[in-house]
Amino acid sequence: MIRAASRQALTGYAFLLPGLAGFLLFTLIPVLGSFLISFFDWKLFSSPVFVDTANYARLLTSAGSRFGAYAGNSLFFLIVVPLEMGVALTAAYLLNERPAGTLLFKVMFFIPVVFSAVPVALVWGYLLDTEHGLVNNLLALAGTGKIAWLYDPAWIKRGIALMTVWQGSAFGTIIYYAALQGIPDQLYEVARLDGAGRWAAFRGITLPMLLPTHVFLAVTGVIGALQLFAPIVIMTHGDAGGAHTLMIELYTKAYQEFSMGEGAAIAWILFAVIAAASALFWRSTAWRGDNA
């Protein structure tokens, strides 16, 4: 009996071994290695020199550091998270009402999900073009002036955020739609019998029942917003300018200047920012759900 149980346990561990090995080799060890590298001055092609916390001090406190501006640009893109969630929830709610042509709308909302960030950024780069872009042409028809979406420092982050909301809300729509399908119809029937209107049912039933979905989309949205990279590089043709974020600075330090120690330090600072922002969104989303 004991021998059979031991054999089953060994079989289970054997099946787990490939996944654990991949996690150790390609995730845990590189992550721990990057933390160690952040305490070294390493120019990739020279021998690493231990500098303790000098990399962090140089980034955070040195007079010429623009870390604060880059961090501010990163935090700006957090604005896309509630916008994505609002657009996604509205679209999913309308789809759940089963209007005519629902299948067509489902396909339309799913298309941005299957596209990678690169082609989407290329298309939006043309849409936001200053002279010939569709967005500026529509603004001209409305009687307003043209906006240099991807060149004016005052608008460049807004232009990239607009694209991010469009693509991110598509994913959120699918998640919200699936969650709405799981809410029992009996709850709405009881609410109608009690005299509750559509808005009261939405506020008292739909929003609280979607709380796990709110939290999931909020946290994943924060992570994605703070790690935004490809759209910024592609839409600005490599010159991020006013949209230079911590992620762009990490790439610049590590893969253009080959300062691997500073790049690793930025990565861990970015990790701390993501963890703090995710916790804040998690708590605020849970609080709204508890008080809905």
Could you read off the pLDDT of 76-130 as tens digits, one per residue?
A: 999 999 999 999 999 898 888 776 556 777 777 778 878 888 888 999 988 998 8
- Range 127-139 average pLDDT: 87
Distance CA 76, CA 59 (A): 20
Q: Are the C-beta atoms of residues 117 and 138 closer than 8 Å to each other? A: no
DSSP structure class, residue 252: I
- Range 201-218 average pLDDT: 88
Q: How confident is the model at residue 180 (pLDDT cuts 50, 70, 90)?
A: very high
Q: Are the C-beta atoms of residues 14 and 227 closer than 8 Å to each other? A: no
Q: Are the C-beta atoms of residues 159 and 231 closer than 8 Å to each other? A: no
- Look at residue 19 and tell me whether its pLDDT is greater than 70: yes
Residue 43 burial by CB count (10 A; 0-12/13-18/19+): exposed, middle or buried? middle
List Cα–Cα distances, 69 to 58, 112, 175, 209, in angstroms. 15, 31, 34, 39
pLDDT top residue among 237 and 156: 156
Q: Look at the pTM and tell me if it is higher than 0.85.
A: no
* Mean pLDDT, all residues of the chain: 86
Q: Are the C-beta atoms of residues 63 and 56 closer than 8 Å to each other? A: no
List phi, psi (to 5°) of 50.
-70, 125
Which one, of 267, 213, 290, 286, lies nearest residue 74 by Cα?
A: 267
Distance CA 66, CA 199 (A): 47
pLDDT (tens digit per residue) in 231-263: 999 988 877 778 899 999 999 999 988 999 999
pLDDT (tens digit per residue) in 192-205: 888 878 888 888 88
- Look at residue 30 and tell me whether its pLDDT is greater than 80: yes
Distance CA 110, CA 137 (A): 27
Residues 6+ apart with CB under 8 A from 230: 117, 118, 121
Distance CA 249, CA 259 (A): 11
What tokens were used for 263?
């790049």
